[in-house]
Amino acid sequence: MTPAVEFIDVTKRFPGATSPALDHVNLTIDPGELVCVLGTSGGGKTTFIKLINRLHDPDTGTVLVNGQDVSQVDPVELRRGIGYVIQQTGLFPHMTVSENIACVPKILKWDRGRIDARVDELLELVHLDPSDFRDRYPSQLSGGQQQRIGLVRALAASPEIMLLDEPFGAIDAITRAKLQDELLRIHRGSGKTFVFVTHDVTEALKLGTKVLVVDAGRVQQYATPEELLAHPATPFVRELLETQGYTPEGRRA
Ligand SMILES: Nc1ncnc2c1ncn2[C@@H]1O[C@H](COP(=O)(O)OP(=O)(O)O)[C@@H](O)[C@H]1O
Ligand SMILES: [Mg+2]
């Protein structure tokens, strides 16, 4: 089976930085996984996913997507097959919800009927009534609704890989739990590969089929949630779990 994503000895150093943002990273992500990238601020999580869609290029090493070295692929072409969701949603404020969702399908020259059907299907997928939401502008949506639109916009042309960078970071706890449930349902229904960045241990353990803990640009552990809880591989992992209330026996009261 060709991995969805593979990092071979990848190092990324930003100009002027004393230490690399990512340091000799080796790992593979199998198709269909939902990998949560977990760590504290500045650890290299965003850099990791931006190397997948070539918003950054490595200094040394190779990143492969579906078996292809991304440095050999046109970045625009590459990104068409990779959905990208960020906390600030990146919705176009002057476009309606349906126009936002239709962006990539339009570039791909889908016909009107197919686009309209896809927009409605996606709105229903995140429990937003199409007749109510289709023609609204982003400013007429709550934070949680905006995040749902950002998510389905990235899904519109059914990319093989979805990258999500702390998408629910600015959302209240109750809405966030609902969005997490929706994301899980969408992931399971899609069979696609998701890479989800978070600094929240609970979120990573709830969502991830695997959790990738990074700190100071190094992989600390890459394991299932169960394995991570039972056998934290490094002092950083143990401390991260403990400070957010987790022990090998399970969650503290
Ligand atoms: N464009 C950039 N230019 C210079 N340094 C950067 C840039 N992006 C990230 N960094 C640095 O790389 C390190 C990792 O950052 P980042 O991947 O954004 O961490 P995280 O997403 O885990 O908070 C940090 O030290 C950060 O300051
Ligand atoms: Mg980040």
Q: Are residues 143 and 190 in the same domain?
A: no
CATH of the domain at 69: 3.40.50.300
User: Which is it for the CA torsion 248, 249, 250, 253, positive or negative?
Assistant: negative
Q: What letter does residue 233 receive in the DSSP assignment?
A: -
Q: Phi then psi for 200, rounded to 5 degrees?
A: -100, 115
Per residue in 130-149, pLDDT (tens digit) is: 999 999 999 999 999 999 99
| Structural domain contains residue 251 | no
Count of domains observed in the chain: 2
Nearest alpha carbon to residue 40 among 242, 247, 240 = 240
Q: What pLDDT is stored for residue 251 in this prediction?
A: 63
pLDDT of residue 87: 87
* Domain boundary pick from 158, 186, 214: 158
**Domain-embedded: residue 43:** yes
Same domain, 217 and 104: no
Phi, psi for 6 (deg, rounded to 5) = -140, 130
In whole numbers, what is the pLDDT of the chain averaged over residues?
A: 95
Residue 31 lies inside a defined structural domain of this protein: yes
Question: Is pLDDT at 7 greater than 50 in this prediction?
Answer: yes
Q: Is the pLDDT of residue 233 over 50?
A: yes
Q: Would the CB of 14 count as within 6 Å of ligand 1?
A: yes
- Shared domain for 103 and 67, answered yes or no, is no
- pLDDT at 192 (0 to 100): 96
Residue 47 Cβ contacting ligand 1 at under 6 Å: yes
State in Å: Cα 3 to ligand 1 middle: 26
Q: Which atom of ligand 1 is nearest to the CA of 43?
A: 22
| DSSP calls for 170-211 | TS-HHHHHHHHHHHHHHHHHH--EEEEEES-HHHHHHH-SEE
Domain that holds residue 13: 1-81+161-246
